[in-house]
Structure 1
């Protein structure tokens, strides 16, 4: 039998901390998530970098706490 893969249905994808500037826009791109409205509360994008609404840089640790 095959291995069972665990899928988390209720968990939201976290955005990357910096945009990779790919033409097709990856699934975790902060620019795409901002446009769709799926970016977590308290975050925005400035110059292709994910920042808090107060303007401070975001760490991966802080991002996981917010989500």
Structure 2
């Protein structure tokens, strides 16, 4: 019988322990196991706004 592998979810904030714990967002980012749509900024897990990141307001130059 095969066991289903459950994805480990990252913590909300890095606890800065040495060595890093298995659910550390910094460690998961480095290993590439961080869930899609998330990134780490200032040791905190943040959600990436993909739709807002692509849109940039362009300023029209009045001639």
With normalisation by structure 2, the TM-score equals 0.70
Size of the alignment, in residue pairs? 47
4+ aligned runs moved over 4 Å, structure 1? none
1:48 is the counterpart of 2:43: yes
**Larger RCO, structure (CA 8 Å, separation 6 or more):** 1
Please give the alpha-carbon distance, in whole angstroms, between the structure 1 residues aligned to 2:11 and 2:4.
20
Structure 1 position 10, deviation (Å)? 2.1
**Where does residue 24 of structure 1 map in the other structure?**
19
Distance 1:41 1:24 in 2: 25
Bigger-Rg structure (1/2) = 2
Q: Alpha-carbon deviations, 1:13-56, whole Å to 9, x = none?
A: 000000000010000000000000000000000000000113xx
1:37 aligns with 2:32: yes
C-alpha RMSD of matched pairs (Å): 1.1
